[in-house]
Amino acid sequence: MELTRMTAAELSAALATSEVSATEVTQAHLDRIAAVDDRVHAFLHIAADSALAQAADVDQRRATGEQLAPLAGVPVAVKDVFTTKNMPTTCGSRILDGWHPPYDATITRRLKQAGAIILGKTNMDEFAMGSSTENSAFGPSRNPWDLDKIPGGSSGGSAAAVAAYEAPLAIGTDTGGSIRQPAAVCGIVGTKPTYGGSSRYGVVAFASSLDTPGPFGRTVLDAALLHEAISGHDPMDSTSIDAPVPPVVAAAREADVSGMRIGVVTDLSGDGYQPGVLSRFAEAVELLESLGAKVTEVSCPHFKYALPAYYLIAPSECSSNLARFDAMRYGLRVGDDGTRDAEEVMALTREAGFGAEVKRRIILGAYALSSGYYDAYYGKAQQVRTLIIRDFDAAFGQVDVLVSPATPTTAFPLGERADDPMAMYLADLCTIPSDLAGNAAISVPCGLAAEDGLPVGLQVMAPALADDRLYRVAAAAEAAFAGRWGQPLLASAKGLGA
């Protein structure tokens, strides 16, 4: 089998027995990138030299008989929001064009320590704000299913890379849905771990209380392997949870849902949901039931306020997080001609360096936090957040996991919502509640929509620290679908031809 068509689990096994070398695997993926990335534009930076050097190192260590981690020699694509020493980190923004961080994110370090091969940095909506990568300062990425469609966002580059077989694994961040939504529209698996389950140290902050690094893979097991490799307590991150990583890999292998109580969130349906998406979702629910799960309907009445609450909390935090980009210490500096003062240079730089969506959210955030408005906007949103957490708590008192479609629609065309922020925000309708509550959620492919033949994602949500339940359910669904479809869903993706 072509190395780029193998799953991470298969590559790991082949590498472990030296059936194949890390160098071969890496070169194969670099070749694939060279062949298709001019059309997909998943990558902002391809780290060919360092990837091959890492691969050579892994091969050498394996040759000496050293015991290596499961992902040693397996390529990974890294969203350009994670700091990587000696590699550019742009966050999809002009304001950080050319910035080489002097330190690695904790997750970057953990990947390197595991021997994973970092192929490069992937494209994203600027500073993780967006659902399509159209907000990237360096051009959008394209959906391998149909190159005129969005790959989702903000981690669209990572999702596209995996869907295009440029990498078996990728990492992204999920703040309002930025892993699950791209995974859903690209027909792959993506997980938002429990908030605090994966370290944010070295993840350029968008919304600090929501940002959650997580894995992409073409299979549930692959995502679980990566989930395990990057998770765990980090003393450099005060919001990091000091608890063992939930047994996600074991759960993915067990894939048994008999007796599990599954709740369908009735509020995540209705107007604005594409009929083809709802059909595939309904079938997925029936499938789970046929596998032995007990399905009921659950109401989470405050979920309808999740979107407005999110679009108050996230911009508020980001307006503060992005204040540091001021041309004084790193990054773009515009207008310093010797006559202007520091404030003018700051303002000119930020004007030139930030895109429209980022400016919108910064201003929105400043508004929501300003004295006189704080209570009615930010303060109120934080109260809504409490109510959403309580909805989840009540629901999880009755069921083990909740399910819904991952997105209201399939991948929409590039350009369709680019200058309609409110329409763009609707892409996150289903994913936002879990971000606000900090619990775990996954999107797993559940078919193609009849209208357009584009992938639909099934979202599974679990309580905080119960990430393993996600993989249990997702793996069961995946296996059952595989039986039904006869081949992986991605095999029918037409966008790239072969």
Please report, as residue ranges, which positions from 179 to 218 form the binding site for another protein (by CB under 8 A).
195-196, 200-205, 207-209
- Least separation, in Å, of the C-beta of 218 and another protein? 28
Interface of this chain with another protein, residues 439 to 498, rule: CB under 8 A: 464
Question: Nearer to another protein by C-beta: 372 or 497?
Answer: 372
- Least separation, in Å, of the C-beta of 494 and another protein? 35
Task: Out of 73, 101, 187, 263, point to the residue binding another protein (CB under 8 A).
Answer: 101
Cβ proximity of 181 and 443 under 8 Å: yes
Q: Go through the chain and tell me how many residues it has.
A: 498
Collect all residues with Cβ–Cβ distance below 8 Å to 131 and sequence separation of at least 6: 125, 150, 152, 153, 154, 177, 178, 181, 424, 425, 427, 428
Task: Out of 422, 483, 491, 497, point to the residue binding another protein (CB under 8 A).
Answer: 422
CA triple 81-465-156, angle to 5 deg: 30
Task: Out of 20, 54, 80, 82, point to the residue binding another protein (CB under 8 A).
Answer: 82
- Least separation, in Å, of the C-beta of 415 and another protein? 17
Interface of this chain with another protein, residues 363 to 382, rule: CB under 8 A: 363-364, 366-371, 374, 376-382
- Position 88 contacts another protein (CB under 8 A): no
Cα–Cα distance, 215 to 226 (Å, whole number):
6
- Position 430 contacts another protein (CB under 8 A): no
- Least separation, in Å, of the C-beta of 290 and another protein? 35
Preceding omega of 154 cis (within 30 degrees of 0): yes
What distance, in Å, lies between the first and last C-alpha atoms of the chain?
14
Task: Out of 345, 462, 466, 470, point to the residue binding another protein (CB under 8 A).
Answer: 345
Task: Out of 4, 7, 23, 83, point to the residue binding another protein (CB under 8 A).
Answer: 83
- Position 394 contacts another protein (CB under 8 A): no
Cα–Cα distance, 469 to 390 (Å, whole number):
20
- Position 271 contacts another protein (CB under 8 A): no
Interface of this chain with another protein, residues 43 to 62, rule: CB under 8 A: none
CA atoms within 13 A on the CB side of 462: 24
Task: Out of 19, 148, 286, 351, point to the residue binding another protein (CB under 8 A).
Answer: 351
- Position 232 contacts another protein (CB under 8 A): no
- Position 359 contacts another protein (CB under 8 A): yes
Interface of this chain with another protein, residues 276 to 295, rule: CB under 8 A: none
Task: Out of 344, 413, 482, 494, point to the residue binding another protein (CB under 8 A).
Answer: 344
Question: Nearer to another protein by C-beta: 91 or 454?
Answer: 91
Could you list the active site residues? 79, 154, 178
CA atoms within 13 A on the CB side of 196: 15
The closest of 211, 207, 208 to 192, measured between CA atoms, is 211
- Contacts with another protein by CB under 8 A: the residue count is 94
- Position 343 contacts another protein (CB under 8 A): yes
Question: Nearer to another protein by C-beta: 40 or 437?
Answer: 437
CA triple 95-239-200, angle to 5 deg: 35
**Torsion region of 128: left, alpha or beta (phi above 0 gives left; psi -120 to 50 gives alpha):** left
- Position 87 contacts another protein (CB under 8 A): no
Q: Give 26-53 as a DSSP string.
A: HHHHHHHHHHHHHHH--EEEE-HHHHHH
Task: Out of 159, 437, 477, 480, point to the residue binding another protein (CB under 8 A).
Answer: 437
CA distances from residue 190 to 152, 170, 256, 337, 399 in whole angstroms, order as listed: 12, 9, 20, 47, 22
The token pair that represents 286 in the structure block: 């029936």
- CA-derived radius of gyration, the chain: 21
Binding-site string for another protein from residue 311 to residue 330, where x marks contact by CB under 8 A and - marks none? xx---xx-xx--xxxxxxxx
Place of tokens 């966050």: 91
- Position 360 contacts another protein (CB under 8 A): yes
- Least separation, in Å, of the C-beta of 441 and another protein? 13
- Least separation, in Å, of the C-beta of 362 and another protein? 5
- Least separation, in Å, of the C-beta of 172 and another protein? 15
- Least separation, in Å, of the C-beta of 303 and another protein? 12
Cβ proximity of 116 and 74 under 8 Å: yes
| Helix H or strand E encompassing 309 | helix 306-321
- Least separation, in Å, of the C-beta of 131 and another protein? 15
Task: Out of 176, 214, 263, 331, point to the residue binding another protein (CB under 8 A).
Answer: 331
Task: Out of 18, 60, 113, 386, point to the residue binding another protein (CB under 8 A).
Answer: 386
The token pair that represents 480 in the structure block: 């059952």
Cβ proximity of 406 and 457 under 8 Å: yes
Task: Out of 214, 215, 438, 455, point to the residue binding another protein (CB under 8 A).
Answer: 438
Cβ proximity of 131 and 181 under 8 Å: yes
Cα–Cα distance, 272 to 475 (Å, whole number):
28
Interface of this chain with another protein, residues 121 to 180, rule: CB under 8 A: none
Helices then strands (H, E): number in the chain? 16, 11
